[in-house]
Structure formats: C-alpha cells, structure tokens
C-alpha cells in the first residue's frame, strides 16, 4: 500500500493508517474522500452515489436500478436509472410527468415514441447515442440483437421507475367494456390482454427498421 491509499496526508503529516475492515476498491474510487484536501473541512455534501449500492429490480426481460434523492440527498434536480434489456426484450410503453434524457451505454435498441397529435417516432440506436423525451411523451424501448444497457436521467430528484404509468397497468385497471368501446372491438377480443403490468418482459428481436418505419410520419 502507498501513502495515497491510506488516510494520510503527507503535506501536513495528518492521519494514520486504516487497519480495516475496509473496502480498498471504494477507497481507490474516492481518493479525495479518503485523503481530503486541506481546504475540505468536511461540510461538502456527498455528490455521488454508486449504482452498486442500490436495490436491483430483476424482471424476465432484464433489470433496472435507480438512484434518487432518497439515496443521494444532495441531488435537488435529477434522478438516475441504470437499465439493461436482453435481446428482444421490451421496456414496455409508458409515460411520466418528468422529462427524460438517456445515453446508450452498451448494445443496441429500438426506441418508439408517440405524441398527443398521433405522430410517431421510431429509430434504432447504439452505444453512444442519446435520446430526449419531454414530459408526458409515451415511449418504449426494445433491445435488438446485442441486448442493451442505458443510463436514464429524469428532471425531478424524487422520480422513481416504480411509479411510471404503464400501458399494461392502465389496461388491467380499466373496465373491459370501456376499452372495447374505445378500440371499437368486442370484449372477447380483449381476453389475451395481461391482467397485471409487464414492465420489462421478453420478446423477439425485431426485423429491420425499414419494415416498420413509415416514411413521412416523424414527430
């Protein structure tokens, strides 16, 4: 171990060794917390929180985990979600009152969105690409052949993925006669609808985007 990896500040000869138990990897990730600069008097709030320290929600089609102001009280404006989907799996159509922007970290996916005018958007994205949805825009994400992992950022610090408005949840709690009247079908047609929310679920890798993307109808 070097002095830099111990809570010892050479310039003013303060601190001493930490004999444990300790997490060496976390100490290496936070050198200015382990050995604070002389200008730090311990009153600066923690401005980061590792996704590795939060609950992982496991679903049939992948997983998700979030950091909100519950875990990071210093965050007054934003919340974050890390999500991963198996090849072909969906983050089902949903919407929320918070704005959302995202970066694809690994793999590839197909993103779909709708607006109140009936206009639609659909495109394939890969690692390094971004998307930005205004508040209230219904949208879904489907992983392509590589599967995917992406980072989501929301415009409210107390946002939670567990409180999004899901299409399947809405359908499950709406009387079937109302749904049938809305879609102009008989109620028997609605029997295959799920009885509970799907959230993240398995699916098949879709074909080329040219087979589903209609020209001239972008948002």
- Which residues are designated catalytic? 91, 94, 96, 100, 139, 161
Are the C-beta atoms of 139 and 95 separated by less than 8 Å?
Answer: yes
* Token pair for 36: 């604070």
Distances in Å between the Cα of 162 and the Cα atoms of 2, 127, 128, 170, 200 are 44, 25, 26, 14, 12
Peptide bond before residue 21 is cis, with ω within 30 degrees of 0: yes
Strands 14-15 and 57-59: unpaired
Are the C-beta atoms of 105 and 127 separated by less than 8 Å?
Answer: yes
């Amino acid at each position: 171990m070097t002095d830099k990896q111990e809570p010892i500040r050479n310039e003013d000869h303060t601190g001493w060794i930490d004999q444990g138990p300790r997490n060496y990897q976390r100490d290496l990730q936070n050198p200015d917390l382990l050995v604070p600069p002389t200008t730090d008097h311990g009153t600066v709030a923690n401005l980061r929180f590792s996704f590795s320290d939060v609950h992982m929600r496991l679903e049939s089609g992948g997983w998700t985990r979030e950091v909100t102001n519950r875990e990071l009280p210093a965050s007054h404006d934003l919340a974050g979600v890390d999500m991963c989907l198996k090849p072909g799996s969906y983050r089902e159509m949903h919407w929320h009152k918070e704005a959302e922007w995202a970066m694809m970290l690994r793999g590839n996916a197909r993103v779909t969105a709708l607006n109140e005018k009936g206009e639609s958007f659909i495109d394939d994205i890969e690692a390094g690409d971004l998307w930005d949805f205004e508040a209230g825009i219904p949208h879904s994400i489907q992983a392509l052949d590589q599967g995917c992992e992406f980072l989501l950022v929301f415009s409210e610090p107390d946002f939670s993925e567990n409180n999004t408005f899901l299409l399947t949840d809405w359908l499950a709690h709406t009387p079937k006669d109302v749904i049938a009247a809305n879609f102009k079908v008989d109620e028997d047609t609605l029997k295959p609808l799920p009885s509970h929310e799907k959230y993240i679920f398995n699916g098949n890798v879709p074909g080329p985007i040219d087979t589903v993307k209609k020209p001239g109808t972008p948002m």
